[in-house]
Amino acid sequence: MKVLVAVKRVIDPYVRVRVAEDGTGVITKNAKMAMNPFDEIALEQAIRLKEAGLVSEIILVSIGEHAGQETLRKGLAMGADRAIHVETDATFQPIQIAHILKQIADEEKPMLALLGKQTIDGDHNQTGQMLAALLDWPQATFISELTLTATTATACREIDGGLETIEVDLPAVVTADLRLNEPRYASLPSIMKAKSKPLVTRSLSEFPAAQIEHIKVLAVSAPAERKPGVRVDSVEALMDKLKNEAQVI
């Protein structure tokens, strides 16, 4: 069974994000970058399935600038078998990414597509669902547990009211939530071996459906800074500020 795992290179979650002065986006130059945390969890789950003998091959896919190959090499060091890099300097919306992944899935014929539930930069939480719609595959989103058989996937997913367990037929699209697992660190021997694993670079021109622009970002701005708190001398003064300044009561 093949598994397709999509990963994205994002600003490290522990780095403070700064918005460019011209409002066109965030500053990534000289910023520390990392694999999107939810994608890393999805990859870890694919590796665990392979270690359990349920998966034969893990194929990584990433879309973005040339430096994104560092992220793919990390994934190969963790345990993926080969990688596909669709190289482009353009910034894509979820529907465009879903079209690229759909075409690759059509070519590779995986039985499972594993994605993080969202990226920490765009926070769209749309790509997995759109990919399932384009492929006409069943989907299990926000999963915290996953069990596979040769023909089905059983997933425990997190919903507003608690937990929901569902079973879907394969092939299927699954998106990973935070509590699914804890990703491993790649060992030094694995990092060295990853250098010889296949990494294919593909041109964006091979994916015509992804070149149609559906959404245009007009401006990006930082959130307003929060005002510092103040001390009050009495309950009456607190109630006055809540009523007249904060206007929450």
Between 218 and 3, the more confident residue is 3
What confidence score (pLDDT) does residue 158 get?
A: 85
Whole-angstrom distance, CA of residue 60 vs CA of residue 83: 4
Task: Print burial letters for 152-170: b (CB count within 10 Å at least 16), e (below 16).
Answer: ebebbbbeeeeeeeeebeb
- Section 149-168 average pLDDT: 93
Give the CATH number of the domain where residue 129 resides. Answer: 3.40.50.620
Please say if the pLDDT value at position 30 is more than 90: no
Between 19 and 181, the more confident residue is 181
> Which residue, chain included where needed, has tokens 């701005």?
221
Domain of 85, in residue numbers:
2-244
- Minimum mean pLDDT among 28-42, 128-142, 159-173, 208-222: which range? 208-222
pTM of the entire structure? 0.87
Instruction: Tell me if 116 is assigned to some domain.
Output: yes
The whole-number average pLDDT for the span 160-169 is 93
What average pLDDT score do residues 176-199 get?
Answer: 94
Q: Which two tokens stand for residue 32?
A: 């520390």
As a whole number of angstroms, the distance between CA 238 and CA 113 comes to 53
Q: Is the CB of residue 77 less than 8 Å from the CB of residue 186?
A: yes
Cα 99 from Cα 61, distance rounded (Å): 13
Q: With cut-offs at 50, 70 and 90, classify the pLDDT of residue 222.
A: confident
Res. 174: pLDDT tops 90: yes
Residue 226 lies in a domain: yes
**Is 249 part of any domain?**
no
d(CA 41, CA 224): 32
Residue 91 within any structural domain of the chain: yes
DSSP state string for 160-219: TTEEEEEEEESSEEEEE-GGG--PPPPPHHHHHHHTTS-EEEEEGGG-GGGGS-------
Query: pLDDT value at position 228?
Result: 84
Please tell me the total count of domains within the chain: 1
Q: What mean pLDDT comes out for the span 26-38?
A: 90
Confidence bin at 28 (pLDDT 50/70/90):
confident
User: pLDDT band for position 226 (50/70/90)?
Assistant: confident
